Structure formats: structure tokens, C-alpha cells
Amino acid sequence: MAKFEECLQRLEKIVHELEKGDVPLETSLTLFEEGMNLSSACRKELEQAEGKVEILLRKNGKLQAEPFEA
């Protein structure tokens, strides 16, 4: 799950850069677009993880792994 942490770390850097306010407009737009893509990727990974947890908890009250289809 290193990808999630890497995406989140990059997203935090982008937010920090944009909050400083000294980035040219074109660069700001590029950073914003990258940030939106990273946010979407993080959200997708969290939704998949949530689905896996629900499958584990739903299996007759016992923790049993089951294949997960996104």
C-alpha cells in the first residue's frame, strides 16, 4: 500500500505549494490538476480497502478473507 502513502505525501506537498501563493498561475493550474488526480487515486484505494474490510466482517461474524472485486 506504499502507493497510497506516496500519493498522499505528494498531495500534501502540492497543497503546501499552493497555499504559499507565490506560484505562477500556469504552475498553480498544473499543480491543482495533479492534486485532483492524486486525490481521486487516494479515494479509490480507500474505497477498495473499505470493501475488503466489509467482506471480512460480513463473513458470518468471522474474519475470513474472500476475493474482492472492485
Give a yes or no: residue 19 inside a domain: yes
Range of the domain at 44: 2-58
Query: Are the C-beta atoms of residues 23 and 17 closer than 8 Å to each other?
Result: yes
Q: Give me the pLDDT at residue 24, please.
A: 95
Query: Are the C-beta atoms of residues 31 and 23 closer than 8 Å to each other?
Result: yes
Give a yes or no: residue 64 inside a domain: no
Give a yes or no: residue 31 inside a domain: yes
CATH number at residue 42: 1.10.287
Q: Give me the pLDDT at residue 1, please.
A: 45
Q: How many domains does the chain have?
A: 1
Amino acid, single-letter form, for residue 38: L
* Mean pLDDT in order along the chain per 10 residues (70 residues): 84 95 94 95 89 74 63
Give a yes or no: residue 27 inside a domain: yes
Distances in Å between the Cα of 58 and the Cα atoms of 49, 52, 61 are: 14, 10, 6
